[in-house]
Amino acid sequence: MTDQDTRYEAVRSRDARFDGEFFFAVETTGIYCRPSCPAVTPKRHNVRFFTTAAAAQGSGFRACRRCRPDAVPGSADWNVRADVVGRAMRLIGDGVVDREGVAGLAVRLGYSARQVQRQLTAELGAGPVALARAQRAHTARVLLQTTGLPVTDIAFASGFASVRQFNDTIRAVYAATPTGLRAAVRTSRPPTGTPAAGIPLRLAHRGPYHAAYVFDVLEREAVAGVEEVSGPAGGRTYRRTLRLPYGTGIVAVDERPGAGPRERGTGRASAVHPGGWLDARLHLTDPRDLTTAVQRLRRLFDLDADPYAVDERLGADPRLAPLVAARPGLRAPGAADPEEYAVRAVVGRTAAASLVRAHGKALDAPCGTLTHLFPEPAALADAVGPLAVALADGAVRLDPGADRDEAEAALLAVPGLDGRTVAAIRARALGDPDVAPPGADVPDTWRPWRTYAFHHLHATEEPHVRVLD
């Protein structure tokens, strides 16, 4: 069976495990969909497959209004891969092309713009501009359908250079005008997001999601003034402040699980590996930060992971099998701000709270117990020392496109950092799914998911593995 035959079988069975891993388009309708789309399965000879939504859009297909393929989780490959394509996709997701252009993306990757264009197009069927355009279209749809912001404001908040470019893109991707997209959702429910109320979000994930463990970690680590976790277990809400490229943000994410996809006409959850979402609300001082804020939350909550691949590999190990069975879909929490996490890993929670009070920037309008942004590295040079200096002057890079091996080597060169701390930073700040603590006796069969294996062990309170959080 060819790879395309396997993909068609996934479409035929509406298998949500593959949502975001590939897209399919139907030549007779001009529409592209996610694999789990509930519509009637098209005939095989009418179907084309694409690695990215941008590639489908570039071939002239518009997004399905029924399954909303632009809202799927991102491919887990971009978290796993350390090559230039994986690094580029993480940077594009963070909004670098919108802020710095393709030239800025290329500089961060250490390649020429032509090389980046060639590699992305060859593998993904779309270059950086097309990939960023698809992301802008999704951001615009979210703002149109969840907020009352004026359409012109949404155009620029989404990253478009002009209103005309915005209108043309929305028509091409969704076969509707911006006002038409907004009117369609208003028939069922009015927009609830306003500058005061915030933007309501559904942060999609594939497969099972063991929210309790993630919220346990976040609650244990929460730094006063910057973060808080409130509510009873099973119904907690995590809130924190965010420093973003254009302004600041405050986000609230609920532990309560969202609904998975439904079988058409039954009201029952799909039997084919349903996904779901985390409900969130985001307050931004500048809506241009929406894309970046969402991507940073996705990394913090590890929402683009592939729990099926992780659980299959680790569940085959006799030591880990009962742990995987007890916590299917266990995630490896990341970091909303990589530089912040690195500082916190070195100084600890109590000292981090002191740094916030002494050096953090106070919010113009405090929100409950959230009063400050975590201080930037440049403000911590005297208080924290060599690590803060290395982060501030760029000797250590921890942005989404950083080369993980180079970052680890740079961290190890910082006086005062030991191997265990560097391993924690690599796992959490850089989102590496395959990290083991130095000196740990780890079987090769745990690769490439060693980070997840140690989180499973951590969840059992084994004292010698408390190093990756």
Residues serving a catalytic function are 33, 441
Q: Which has the closest alpha carbon to 226: 373, 343, 347?
A: 373
Tokens of 179: 């006002």
Taking the C-alpha atoms of residue 432 and residue 423, their distance in angstroms, rounded to an integer, is: 10
Strands 227-230 vs 199-205: parallel, antiparallel or unpaired: unpaired
Q: Which has the closest alpha carbon to 429: 417, 440, 439, 445?
A: 417
Q: Which has the closest alpha carbon to 193: 239, 254, 245, 144?
A: 144
DSSP 272: S
Burial class (CB in 10 A: 0-12, 13-18, 19+), 56: buried
Taking the C-alpha atoms of residue 58 and residue 131, their distance in angstroms, rounded to an integer, is: 10
Residue-by-residue DSSP string for 383-423 = HH-HHHHHHHTTSS--STT--HHHHHHHHHTSTT--HHHHH
Q: Which has the closest alpha carbon to 226: 367, 115, 118?
A: 367
Cβ(451)–Cβ(420) below 8 Å: no
DSSP 399: S
DSSP 270: P
